[in-house]
Amino acid sequence: MATIATNRFSPRLPALFDTFLKWLSRGTEAYIEKHSRRAEIEALEAKSDAELARMGITRDRIVHYVFSDRFYI
């Protein structure tokens, strides 16, 4: 009598894939957090209009100022 195996994958494969996805997710979150500019935006928003004027920016241009090295708007 012949036995045919239809399951080609190791039973550990789904667990390994889940581990990989968790690792990838943690890495992505760490990258995003490291490159977040939220703190800089909040610090500028906390300044008075006079302080911002001395820096040469207006309140409505804070985000543009923070991301000026990434986007040319």
The DSSP symbol for 36 reads -
In a domain, 19, yes or no: no
Q: Supply the range of the domain harboring residue 50.
A: 36-73
In a domain, 63, yes or no: yes
> Tokens standing for 50?
């006079």
pLDDT on residue 28: 93
pLDDT on residue 7: 61
In a domain, 42, yes or no: yes
Total domains in the chain come to: 1
In a domain, 50, yes or no: yes
Instruction: Return d(Cα 21, Cα 14) in angstroms, integer.
Output: 10
Reported residue count of the chain is 73
**pLDDT tens-place string over residues 16-59:** 889 999 999 999 999 888 888 888 999 999 999 999 999 999 99
Q: What is the arithmetic mean of pLDDT over 62-72?
A: 85
In a domain, 5, yes or no: no
In a domain, 54, yes or no: yes
